[in-house]
Amino acid sequence: MTPQAHIVPLFIILPLAGAFLTSLAGKRFKGLPDLLGVASTLGCLVFSLVAVRLVRLAGVLVYSVGAWRPPVGIALVLDGLASFMLVTVNLVACLVFVFSIDYMKRFTSKWKFTTLFLLMLAGMNGVIVTGDLFNLFVFLEIASVASYALVAFGTGKQELEAAFKYAVMGTVASLFVLLGIVFLYSFTSTLNMADMARVLAVKGPSNIMLLVSVLFLMGFGLKAALVPFHAWLPDAHPSAPAPISAMLSGVLIKSLGVYALCRIFYNVIGMTPQVSSLLLFLGALSMVIGVFLAIGQWDLKRLLAYHSISQIGYVVLGLGLATPLGVLGGLFHLFNHSIFKSLLFLNSGSLEYATGTRDLRKMGGLMHRMPVTGATNLVASMSIAGIPPFNGFWSKLLIILAAVQAGRFGYAFWAVLASLLTLASFTKVMKYAFFGPLRQEGKGVVEVPFMMRCAMVLLALICVAGGALLVPGIREVFLIRATDAVLQGLRYGTEVFRSVV
């Protein structure tokens, strides 16, 4: 174990410690939850940026928990893909928490919110850094249980119904994941992901792996809200408080769903043409059905939730292509989507905060009353619709180019079509909410407090500058490392064991 590897458990320890201290003393000292929340999310963000640098200098970092060497004990692994995901998750978490400082003032018992928020963050970071399959399940459940409770945080009629639906479906998904882990354990006699990759590479294909693939696709597909398994998302995401919607849509479905799928199918089981074509099909299906369902919505947050399904389709389509360009596009779109979708949900939260409604038909002409929200929403809308200088354009372009390059012209066509329909539906949002005449109800509306504006402006700046990640020089550090980690396939096992010694 190298001395640099001691950074890896910090991503779990920091938010867990924050959650523990908040639940212990947050009720008595009023400012403490905010302070602890900002400190631990900012700490995680700084450490994740350090981690990117460390991975560049030292390669894969492996931390053995309790000093038990990997095939026996639990290993925490930090490689290119993990450091990429850590930056994405902690960047969004930090900015969303800054937003929630002012937003959550309307709710009672804010310390409970902070505790659950940090627990969810600990679970997500744990899923990303763990190198042990059962440990992944444990962190998955920590993040999921915290998110069920957060969806129900408002304890209104709709929130409770959505949370129950989400909790039941999420639990069933976790059961499928656990069942898949049991079959994998009985086949390979190990729970360590790197060891499993080595054993499976020796054993070769078998029928039991087909069963395991189906179980994992169902389990993680449900967590990622791919189309046949998406029914919980349009209820759960709009019902949560806006910062939590931003976290759920922005990073939770990606770290628990897409990242876990990607890690297991590429690095542990090994990508097969069947799984690849299944992922392509599910991705294209989510992309098109999500956007069709989104266009007709009048509830702003519900519309955004359907767009999450559609955009996750793009990410899975890119990853399913299994070519270097496709994976690069998929991962870049994952990063971009977490930025602009969390910004859009924060904007919807600001609108709800200022006007008290989520119905687009009751808004109108708010551009002059809320200039910051309006401008940032315009930036995010153009990003998600794929208008050139913004980040969403570059990643969608990469995915479409990769589909054409791989000879999948049909999928490229559907990707272009879904992008046009996304543009149409966000034109509707801008027209009804921000442009047009100011309505009678909108006369008293004022711009939201400073902290909320601050978070939105920062996210909008990242949307504008996001395309710079593709510039040669920056690209190699951040995106190419993650793509290489995905594409190394089963060599993941040997890489991890080489850096243990």
Partner 1 sequence: MIAYILCLTLFCVGLYCILRKRNIIKIIVGIIIAEYAVNLFFILVGYRWEGRSPIFSSDTPIVDMVDALPQAVVLTSIVIGLATTALLVALAMRIYGKYGTFDITKIRELKG
Which residues in this chain contact partner 1 in the complex, by CB under 8 A? 134, 137-138, 141, 145, 148-149, 152, 155-158, 160-164, 167-168, 171-172, 174-175, 178-179, 182, 185-186, 191, 234-235, 239, 297, 299, 302
Nearer to partner 1 by Cβ, of 36 and 303: the residue is 303
What is the phi/psi pair of residue 241, to 5°? -60, 150
Closer by beta carbon to partner 1, 33 or else 219: 219
- In the complex, minimum distance from the CB of residue 268 to partner 1, in angstroms, rounded to a whole number: 17
In the complex, minimum distance from the CB of residue 242 to partner 1, in angstroms, rounded to a whole number:
17
3-state secondary structure of 62: strand
- 149 vs 412 by CB, closer to partner 1: 149
Please give the Cα distance from 155 to 176 (Å, whole number): 29
DSSP SS3 for 63: strand
Number of other residues whose CB lies within 10 A of the CB of residue 489: 17
- Minimum CB separation of residue 223 from partner 1 in Å reads 14
Q: Which is nearer to partner 1, 175 or 461 (CB)?
A: 175
Q: Least CB distance from residue 425 to partner 1, whole Å?
A: 14
Closest CA to 125 of 226, 259, 272: 259
- In whole angstroms, the minimum distance from the beta carbon of 289 to partner 1 comes to 14
CA atoms in the 13 A half-sphere facing the CB of 35: 8
Nearer to partner 1, 54 or 149 (CB): 149
Separation between Cα atoms, residue 53 and residue 393, nearest integer Å: 27
Name the minimum Å distance from CB 163 to partner 1. Answer: 6
Residue 297 or 348: the one with the smaller Cβ distance to partner 1 is 297
Kindly give the interhelix angle for 324-355 and 391-405, rounded to the nearest 10 degrees: 150
Nearer to partner 1, 179 or 457 (CB): 179
Binning the chain into helix, strand and coil, the percentages to the nearest 5 are 80, 5, 15
Question: Nearest-CA neighbor of 350 among 254, 457, 252?
Answer: 457
DSSP 361: G
Spatial CA neighbour of 129 closest among 146, 143, 115, 117: 143
| Nearest-approach distance from CB 219 to partner 1, in angstroms | 12
- Smallest distance, partner 1 to C-beta of residue 167, A: 6
**Which of 107, 134 has the CB closer to partner 1?**
134
In the block, which residue shows the tokens 């054409």? Answer: 404
CA distances 126 to 184, 244, 329, Å, are: 21, 19, 25
444, burial (CB in 10 Å: exposed 0-12, middle 13-18, buried 19+): exposed
161/484 with CB nearer partner 1? 161
Q: Rounded to the nearest 5°, which phi and psi values hold at 448?
A: -75, 165
Q: What is the dihedral of CA 398, 404, 407, 408, to 10 degrees?
A: 80
